[in-house]
Structure 1
Amino acid sequence: MITRRRLLGATGALVVAAPLVRSQLGYADELTPSVHVRIDGRGRIIATVPKPDTGQGVRTMAAILIAEELAVEVADVTLEQAPGDTARFGPQTIQNSTSSRQLAQPLRTAAATARCLLVTAAANRWGVPPGECAARAGRVEHPGHRALPYRALVADAAKLDPATVAVTLIPPEKWRLIGRTRAGRSDARDIVTGRAKYGAESAPPGALIAVVARPKWIGAQVDTVDDAAALAVPGVVAVVRLVAPAGGQGGVAVVARSTAAALQGRAALTVTWTGGTPAADSRTWIADLEAALPPVTGKPDIQRIFRLPLLAHAAMEPMNATAHVTDTGVTVWAPTQDPGGLRTILSRQLALPESQITVHPTLAGGGFGRRIEPDPVFEALTCSRAVGAPVSVRWTRDDDTRHDSYRPMSVHRLGATLDASGLPVSRFHQVATWPLTVVPIFNNPMLVKASGDHFPYSVPGDVSVTLRLAPLRTGFWRAVYAGQFGYAEECFLSEIARRGGHDQVTARRTLLPADSRLRRVLDTASDHHGYADGAACHLDYGSAIAVLVTADPVARKVIRVTAAVDVGVPVHPSGVIAQVEGGVLDAVSTVLGAQITVREGAVVQSSFRDYAWARIGDCPEITVIVVPSDAPIGGLGELAYPPAAAAIASALAAGGDPVSGMPYGIGVG
C-alpha cells in the first residue's frame, strides 16, 4: 500500500528513490527519467499514461500530478496513451477504483526526478548549489536573476546520473494544482469537437466492418447457416462462423466493406440454433434465489426481503474492437479496461510471444466493468484471420443490451432486533445470488461477502451468502456486489429509522463510531442539504461518502441530491465531482425502473427505449461537496452508486410502502 508519507512527502526535503539508472535515461537531446515522463530538446513535456481512459479522466489526473512536480501548467503537458505492456508500465487495469491510487506515486516521482535533474543541470552550469535554484513556470531560476528554460537544460540533465541527485517531492503546503485546480478535463475540447478517437473510430484505413448474428436465446449455439443471401449483398466480403470462446457467446459474423452492408448481410442470414435454455425466465430465477435463503432462527422485531434485478452496463459507446492478424503478429485497437492484461491473454490464447502482440487502448465511452472482458477482441481476431485484413467488429445498441455480462440478480433477507428507541442493536443479512461467470474465482461465498459487505454502523450481526449457478453471463458492474449489499442494508436502516420516528441523518449519526470518517461527510452533507427524505453512507476503496435526497414520491421524481465525499487527496476536484454525479445518475436510472428481464430464453430489453436510463428531465439538482482530508488518495469510480441508489429509493418510499419491490427499481424479474 502507498502510505501518505511515501505519496505526499512530509516536507520538501523528503528524498525519494530515482526510478532509473543513468544508462536508461535516453538520448542526449531528450530527458527520460522514467517510462511515464520525458522532456524533448524543445522543452516539450510528454506524459505516457499507462491506464486507459473510459471517461473517468485518468489522463487529466496524470497531467495534474506531472505538472505539479515539474512546476508547469496542466496545459503544458502533452498526453500519450501507453500501449498494453505490463512489463514496462506495471498494472494497467482500471477496476476496483485503483487508477489514482496506483499511479500517483510513480507519476509524481518520475516528474520530480526530471525537475531535480534539470535544477542540478542549471546549478552546475552556474556553479551554485542546487538548493539555491528553483523550478518555476517551465524554467530554472536563481536569485541572481538568472533563469534558463527547460529546453536549454535537457541535454545537460540527460547526462547526469540520477543516483547522484537527491529527488524531492513538492510538499502539500506548496501545491498549486493537486486538489486545488478547477481545470476541466485535458481532452475536453477534443471530445466535444469530435477530434477524440474512440474504439470504433480507431481502426486503420481500409479496415473491414463486421457485425455478428448472436444467439436467439441464452446459451444457444449455431446449428446451421445459410449465407447465400448474405454473400449476395453488395459489399459483403465473407461470413465467418464464431465458436464461443471461454466466456464468449459465439455466433455468425458478416464481414463487409461498410457498416450498412454488414448489417444488411446479417439481416439476410438464415441461422438455426441449438442448445441453451429457450424457456429461461427471470421470474423463475428470482424465485429460486429467494427459496435458497436459509430459514430464519429467532424472532426479529423487523424483517424485510429485497429483490434486486439484472442490470446491463449500457455504456454510451457499444462494445467494439479492431484486430489485424498477419504472419508477423497481431495488432489490436480496442476500448479496453486492461490493455496489459489483454496482451497477456492474447499471448496465451494465440500461443504467441507478447513481443508479437500490440494492443492500442483507445478512449472509451464508458466501461463500468464490461470492458474488462475480451470477447469483442476475439471476435475481431477470428474475422481478421479468416479474411486476411484488419476487421473492426461493431456491436449495435441492441447487441450490447441483449448480450451483456449482467450484474447478477440477488435476494436479500434482513432482520433486526430493536432497542426501546427503535434503533437496531443486532441484525442479520442473508444473501442469495450468483457468482460472476467472467471471473471463476468469484464462485466463492466468502469472496462475494468480502466484496459486498461494507456495513459501517455499530450494530453487530451475521451476514451469510448463498450462491447458485448463474443461468447466464454475469460480470463486473459498477460497485459489483457492494451496490447490492449496501443498497439493501441502507434501505432497511431507512425503514427502521422511519418506523421509530427518527430523522434519517440522526439515526445514522447515532450508529456510526465517533471517529468515523462517515460522520464527518454525513454532517457536511446535512449542513448543506437540511432535512432529507432519504440518506445513505458508504465506506469503500479508501474513501467515504454520504448522500442525502429530497424526492416527490407521488410524482416519482428525485428533486435534490447532496453528496459529501472524502477521497483523501482529491487530485482533480472537478473530476471528483463528475464521478459522483455519474454515480448518482446511474442510481436515478436503476431506482426509477431500469432493469433487465428475461422471457422465453431471451433478454426482453433492447436499447434505451425500453432499458430506461435517466433522461435530462429525470436529472435532479446535484450538489457534490469535496470534504478536505489528510487521508491517502482513495478510490472513487464506484463509490457513489450504492449510497445514492439506497438514498433515492428510500426517499421515494418515504410517503408509502417499504422498499421491497417495484416500482423502486427492485424488480421481481
Structure 2
Amino acid sequence: MGKWTRRAFITTGVLAGGALAVGVAIRPGHRAPKVAGQVTEDGEVLVNMWVKIDPRNKVTLVAAHSEMGQGAQNALTQMLADELDASWEDTSFLEAPAIDEYANWALGKGFLLGDADIPKALVPTVDGAMLQIMKAMKMQITGGSASIRATGVYGVRVAGAAAREMLINAASEAWGVPAVQLDARDTHIIDTNSGKRAPFAEFALAASQKPPSPTPTLKTPEQFRIMGKSAPRRDIPAKVDGTAIFGIDAQVEGMKHAAIMAAPVFGAQLVSVDSTQAESMAGVSHVVPLDDAVAIVADGYWQASQALKTVKVEWSATDNDAASSESLFNGFEQSLADGIDGGSSKSDVDDGDIEGALALAAATLDATYRVPYLAHACMEPMNATARVTDESCDVWIGTQNPLGFRYDVAAAMDMDVENVQIHQHPMGGGFGRRSISDSAVQAAKIAREVGGPVKLIWSREEDVRHDHYRPAVASRFRAAVDQNGQIAAWENVYHEKHEPVEAPTIPYAVAAQKIHHVDSPTHVPFGPWRSVDHSQHGFFTEAFFDEVAVAAGKDPYEYRMSLLTDKPRHQKVLRTVAEAAGWGEQLPRGRGRGISLQESFGSLVAQVVDVSVTEGKVSVDRVVVAVDAGFAVSPDGLTAQMESGVIYGLTAALYGEINIEDGAVKQSNFHDYPMVRMNESPLIETHIINSGEAWGGAGEPGTPGIAPALVNAVFDATGLRVRELPLSKQDFSDFS
C-alpha cells in the first residue's frame, strides 16, 4: 500500500506550472503539487483536488468518474456547484487523469464505511487510509452505482463546501471584514452589510494558500438550490451534433487498423496460422499472432476484417471442447443437490428451524429457477487505439477504470507505469464490460509489433463471443406456508456467489430462513454486468415470492406489505407503485399485472408490469416504477436511469441468452442475440420518493426488478409459471 505516516493533516499552497494548487484534505502528505500541471492551464487555480477556478470565474469539477451515458459527471457537477454556491452557468466538469493521485478514495469510503459516524478528528486519517487502499487496488472505477452515493457524498460535496469556506476566508482577509459577514452566491462573494460583490476568481489564489477543512459544514436539503433540480446535461449537445469523440472515433496520425479473432473456446491457445491469402490482399501490412488470438493489420478496418476471414487457424485442444449449456446446467444442479443433501454449501443466512417449519407446514413449495449467460452488448463494440515506442505506450480508449487500465497495460508491456498514458474518451455503453482491459492490452501488443499506431476494433461477432459474461445460474427454493397462510420457512441454495454479498437476501419478515450457496466454476469468463448478482437474484427471489403468495391464497402486493410492517420505507415504495399502476383493477382476459420490490445499491425500487398475451406472444405494455434513492440529485437523470435499467433488464428477460456449444459461444450478432427495439418498448412511468434517507444509486437499481415483475404478470395473464429466462424460449401458444 506504499509508505504511510502518522503526520497530522495540513495542506499548504504551492505555485507549480503556472497554476496554484492546494491539496484536498486527505492524509497522508500534500498531494496537489503532483497533479497541478496535469489538470490546470495558465491562470487556473486548483483550489483543491476536485475544484479549479479560471480567470473568467469559471469553475470546473475534476471528476474521477467516466461517462458512459449515465450522466454521473453532470450530477456530480450539480453537487459541487450547490455546495460551492456557484451558478450552474459557470460550472463544468473535466475527467480526472489516470494517475495514482486520482484513485477514488471517496468510492472506497462509501463502500467500506457508508454512513458510519466518524469523529471529526479521525476523518483525515480515514480518508488517507481510503486513498492508500484505492491506490493499491488501482481503483478509479465507475460502477456499482457509486458515483453519487460515494464520490458525490463523501468527496465532491465536501470539496465544494471546503472551497466555499476557503474563498470566504480569503475575502474576509482581503476586505478586512469578519467572515460571518460574508456569503457566497452565484460564483461571487458578497458582503451582506455593504452589498460589495466580487467573483470567486478574485480570491482563488489566496484561498488556495490556506489549509482546507476536512469537515466543512454541508448544506441541508432545504438549502439546496441546484441539487434536486434537473440541470441541463453538459454532455448531450456534442452527442446530438456528432462532435463527441468516443473511443472508436479516436484518430492518431499515421495509424493503421486491426481486426482480431480469438480462440473460440475460452482457454485455447494459438497453435498455427496460415495467412498466405490475407497477406496478398490489398492494404494488408501485418499478421500479428497473440497467445490466444490472431490480428490482421491493414490500411482500413474493412480491409483488415475481410482479410481476417481468409486466415486458417489451428487452436489447441482444451478440456472444455465438449462443454455445452446443457452440461453446465447439469453440473450446476448437481452442485445444488449436493449443497442441500450433502451439506457442502456455505451460509449467507441461517435463522430459525427450517426443517421443523417444513415438517409442520400446511403447504410446501419446491422450485428451481435458471438464468443463462448474458453478454453486455454495448452499442460501441470493444476497441482501443495504441501507439508504442521503445520507451512509452499511449492508449486511446473509453474505459470504466482508466487507472486500472494504465497498470494493466504497463504490466502486459513490461513497462513502468509512468511511461503509459491513457487518453480517456466517453463510452457508447459500459454496463461493467469496460472495466476489463482485454482490448487495451491487445491493441498495445499489436501496435508494438507494427511499430506504429494501430486502432483495434472488435467485430460485433467478436464482441458477443468473447465477452466477460454475466454468469448462468441455477437457484433452488423451498418454502413453507402455515395454516394461517403465513410464510413459515424460506430456503434458497444457489451456485456461484459474487457481489454484492446481500443480493440473495430478502426484506420480508420470515422467521426461519436459510440462504446458502455452493461453488460450481466453469471455463466461461465472468464479468460484472449491470446490477451484478442482483440481476439474477432479483428474478429468483421476487418471482418465487409470488409463488408463495399464490400458495397462501394472498394477493402478491398485499402479502408483501404484510411482511414489511417493520420497514415503512419499503412499504411506501410499494404503495406508491401499486397506487400509480392501478393495482387491484380487474383486467380483461389475456392481460396481466405483476409486481416486484428490490433493494440494491442503496436504493429501493418497486415495479409493476402490465402485459398482454395474444396468439402466444407476450407484449409488455406498461412499466410503472417507484424509486426511493434517498434524494434525487437530478430528477431527470434518475428517471432516465430507471428507464434505461428497465429496458436493459427487459431485453435480458425477453431475449437474452448466450448458449455454449462445443465449448464456445453460439451467438454472434443481433440476429441471434436481439435487443428490445423501439417499437417494442413499453410506456415507462417513474415516481420519485425523496425519503431523506442515505443517498443511493441510480444506474443499476432499475434493472433487477423488471424480470420478476414481468413473469409475475405473465402468470397473472395465463396461469403459466415461468422459472427460466429468457421468456422467448417459453411456449404460450396453448394459451387463448
Whether these two folds match at TM > 0.5 is yes
Partner of 2:307: 265
1:525-604 → structure 2 map (5 Å cutoff): 525-531=577-583, 533-554=593-614, 555-604=617-666
Q: Give the drift of 1:457.
A: 0.9
Partner of 1:360: 423
Q: Is 1:418 aligned with 2:491? A: no
1:28-427 → structure 2 map (5 Å cutoff): 29-90=43-104, 91-104=139-152, 105-143=154-192, 144-158=194-208, 160-162=209-211, 167-179=216-228, 181-243=229-291, 250-276=292-318, 277-294=320-337, 301-427=364-490
380-389 vs 498-507, which deviates more?
A: 498-507
Partner Cα separation in structure 2 for residue 647 and residue 196 of structure 1:
37
Flag the 1:17–1:289 CA change in 2: closer, same or farther, 3 A: closer
Q: Give the drift of 1:167.
A: 4.6
Amino acid at match of 2:199: P
Q: Give the drift of 1:81.
A: 1.4
CA contact (8 A) 2:503 2:600 kept: no
CA contact (8 A) 2:60 2:94 kept: yes
382-391 vs 221-230, which deviates more?
A: 221-230
Task: Give the unaligned 5+ runs of structure 2.
Answer: 1-22, 105-138, 342-354, 585-592, 732-736
Partner Cα separation in structure 1 for residue 378 and residue 633 of structure 2:
25
Partner of residue 620 from structure 1, selected from 682, 692, 705: 682
Q: Give the drift of 1:462.
A: 1.1
Flag the 1:595–1:371 CA change in 2: closer, same or farther, 3 A: same
Amino acid at match of 2:303: A
Partner Cα separation in structure 2 for residue 221 and residue 648 of structure 1:
42
Q: Give the drift of 1:591.
A: 1.9
Q: Give the drift of 1:403.
A: 1.4
1:574-628 per-residue CA deviation (whole Å, 9 max, x = no partner) reads: 2111111111112221222321112333322211222121011221111111111
Partner Cα separation in structure 2 for residue 163 and residue 35 of structure 1:
11
Partner Cα separation in structure 2 for residue 346 and residue 449 of structure 1:
28
User: Secondary structure, in 3 states, of the residue corresponding to 2:142?
Assistant: coil
Flag the 1:165–1:547 CA change in 2: closer, same or farther, 3 A: closer
Partner of 1:246: none
User: Secondary structure, in 3 states, of the residue corresponding to 1:141?
Assistant: strand
Partner Cα separation in structure 1 for residue 414 and residue 269 of structure 2:
26
Q: Give the drift of 1:502.
A: 2.2
Partner Cα separation in structure 2 for residue 544 and residue 628 of structure 1:
11
CA contact (8 A) 2:402 2:422 kept: yes
Aligned length: 633
Partner Cα separation in structure 2 for residue 176 and residue 652 of structure 1:
44
Fraction of identical pairs, as percent: 31
Amino acid at match of 1:35: M
User: Secondary structure, in 3 states, of the residue corresponding to 2:81?
Assistant: helix
Flag the 1:355–1:657 CA change in 2: closer, same or farther, 3 A: same
CA contact (8 A) 1:660 1:666 kept: no
Partner Cα separation in structure 2 for residue 573 and residue 449 of structure 1:
26
Q: Is 1:463 aligned with 2:515? A: yes
Partner Cα separation in structure 1 for residue 677 and residue 243 of structure 2:
26
Partner Cα separation in structure 2 for residue 185 and residue 595 of structure 1:
34
Q: Is 1:636 aligned with 2:701? A: no
Partner of 1:480: 532
1:425-457 per-residue CA deviation (whole Å, 9 max, x = no partner) reads: 11111213x5xxxxxxxxxx5x56825313111
CA contact (8 A) 1:449 1:465 kept: no
Partner Cα separation in structure 2 for residue 233 and residue 164 of structure 1:
65
Partner Cα separation in structure 2 for residue 120 and residue 93 of structure 1:
34
Flag the 1:639–1:526 CA change in 2: closer, same or farther, 3 A: same
Amino acid at match of 2:430: G
1:437-452 → structure 2 map (5 Å cutoff): 450=501, 452=503
Partner Cα separation in structure 2 for residue 315 and residue 74 of structure 1:
32
CA contact (8 A) 1:587 1:648 kept: no
Q: Give the drift of 1:657.
A: 1.4
Flag the 1:420–1:85 CA change in 2: closer, same or farther, 3 A: same
Flag the 1:166–1:268 CA change in 2: closer, same or farther, 3 A: closer
Flag the 1:97–1:17 CA change in 2: closer, same or farther, 3 A: same
332-341 vs 592-601, which deviates more?
A: 592-601
1:537-586 per-residue CA deviation (whole Å, 9 max, x = no partner) reads: 11122221111122113440111111111112322222111111111112
Q: With the length of structure 1 as denominator, give the TM-score of the two structures.
A: 0.89
Flag the 1:210–1:75 CA change in 2: closer, same or farther, 3 A: farther
Q: Give the drift of 1:112.
A: 2.5
Amino acid at match of 1:283: E
Flag the 1:18–1:272 CA change in 2: closer, same or farther, 3 A: closer
Q: Give the drift of 1:424.
A: 1.7
Q: Give the drift of 1:256.
A: 1.5
Partner Cα separation in structure 1 for residue 456 and residue 406 of structure 2:
18
1:399-436 per-residue CA deviation (whole Å, 9 max, x = no partner) reads: 1111111111111211111022434211111213x5xx
Partner Cα separation in structure 2 for residue 165 and residue 648 of structure 1:
47
Q: Give the drift of 1:63.
A: 1.2
Amino acid at match of 2:201: R
Partner Cα separation in structure 2 for residue 61 and residue 163 of structure 1:
23
CA contact (8 A) 1:65 1:178 kept: yes
User: Secondary structure, in 3 states, of the residue corresponding to 2:710?
Assistant: helix
CA contact (8 A) 1:312 1:406 kept: yes
353-362 vs 86-95, which deviates more?
A: 86-95
CA contact (8 A) 1:322 1:333 kept: yes
Amino acid at match of 1:541: F
Q: Give the drift of 1:110.
A: 2.2
Partner Cα separation in structure 2 for residue 117 and residue 450 of structure 1:
41
Flag the 1:92–1:514 CA change in 2: closer, same or farther, 3 A: same
Task: Give the unaligned 5+ runs of structure 1.
Answer: 1-15, 244-249, 435-444
CA contact (8 A) 1:308 1:667 kept: no
User: Secondary structure, in 3 states, of the residue corresponding to 1:641?
Assistant: coil
Instruction: Work out which structure has the larger RCO, using CA pairs closer than 8 Å and 6 or more positions apart in sequence.
Output: 1
Partner Cα separation in structure 2 for residue 166 and residue 664 of structure 1:
51
Amino acid at match of 2:577: A
Partner Cα separation in structure 1 for residue 491 and residue 151 of structure 2:
39
1:47-72 per-residue CA deviation (whole Å, 9 max, x = no partner) reads: 21111122221211221112112323
Flag the 1:99–1:163 CA change in 2: closer, same or farther, 3 A: closer
Partner Cα separation in structure 2 for residue 560 and residue 184 of structure 1:
27
Partner Cα separation in structure 2 for residue 526 and residue 546 of structure 1:
9
Q: Give the drift of 1:29.
A: 4.3
CA contact (8 A) 1:454 1:539 kept: no
